[in-house]
């Protein structure tokens, strides 16, 4: 699908939201780390929107060097939205994964490689069978250098997609987008007993190579755990982190 005709709500029409955060989990169900711990001097964070956040989160928490992941909402107007409000399209948010990583163990370029390869960034307000503004592709970072790397990776991935006759990337890349934690039910959903094995991501099969600012740290053996020729492949992997 080239894209959805769904349009973002305007700030004036967005739901009012609430002043207090939606209750969420305290610790990561797989990694055991605190979801809201402050960053240390050797850590950085970024927000990634890759369609339904259930499968996307699992893809990121398995990478060596990732300290913590959490799902939530960003890129909209409504403060502290609920899942139902986001899914209504009346908040302007997209579903995102907040990723915190150890800069000594993994580079932002490794995370960008997973981001571009794990979904189809050309689908507009949709991903796979899921349609709506909450499924749009996005990267939100605050650090100017990370912002430059994200844009450089987008440029390179577009060149690779275009060489294969594919559409234009619709991914939003921006700063200044607050993150709101999703409900406890959604955190590390795919690792929980009784979870529904669902992921809407439709990878293009195109692999990201080098780009300006890239400094990959993960060895090829890590990427062998991801087969982007298969839709929803994150569902087929183990929940535990990959051992490099």
> Could you give the residue numbers annotated as active site?
52
- Strand 138-140 with 172-174, pairing: parallel
The DSSP H or E segment spanning 211 is none
Give the alpha-carbon dihedral of 29, 36, 154, 53, to 10 degrees: 40
**C-alpha to C-alpha distance for 175 and 85, rounded to whole angstroms:** 23
Give the contacts of 87 (CB within 8 A, at least 6 positions apart).
132, 134
**C-alpha to C-alpha distance for 148 and 226, rounded to whole angstroms:** 26
Q: Which of 149, 144, 72 is nearest to 113 (CA)?
A: 149
**With b meaning 16 or more CB within 10 Å and e meaning fewer, what string describes 175-184?**
eebebbbbee
**C-alpha to C-alpha distance for 113 and 219, rounded to whole angstroms:** 13
Query: What DSSP line would sit under 16-38, residue for residue?
Result: ---SSPPP--SB-TTT--BTTPP
Inter-CA distances, 7 with 4, 77, 93, 124, Å: 8, 14, 12, 10
């Amino acid at each position: 699908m080239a894209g959805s005709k769904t349009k973002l709500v305007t700030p004036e029409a967005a739901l009012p939201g609430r002043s207090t955060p939606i209750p969420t989990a305290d610790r990561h169900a797989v990694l055991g780390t605190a979801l809201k711990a402050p960053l240390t001097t050797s850590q950085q964070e970024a927000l990634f929107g890759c369609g339904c956040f259930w499968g996307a989160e699992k893809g990121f928490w398995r990478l060596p060097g990732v300290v913590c992941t959490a799902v939530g909402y960003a890129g909209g107007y409504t403060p502290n939205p609920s899942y139902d409000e986001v899914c209504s399209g009346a908040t302007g948010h997209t579903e995102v994964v907040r990723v915190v990583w150890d800069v000594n163990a993994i580079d932002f370029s490794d995370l960008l490689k997973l981001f571009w390869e794990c979904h189809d960034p050309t689908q507009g307000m949709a991903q796979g069978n899921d349609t709506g503004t909450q499924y749009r592709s996005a990267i939100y970072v605050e650090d100017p250098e990370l912002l430059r790397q994200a844009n450089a990776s987008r440029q390179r991935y577009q060149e690779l997609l275009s060489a294969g006759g594919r559409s234009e990337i619709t991914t939003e890349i921006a700063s200044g987008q607050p993150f709101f934690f999703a409900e406890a039910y959604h955190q590390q959903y795919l690792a929980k007993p009784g979870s529904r094995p669902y992921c809407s991501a439709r990878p293009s099969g195109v692999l990201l190579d080098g780009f300006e600012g890239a400094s990959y740290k993960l060895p090829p053996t890590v990427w062998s755990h991801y087969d982007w020729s298969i839709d929803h492949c994150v569902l087929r992997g183990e929940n535990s982190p990959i051992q490099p």
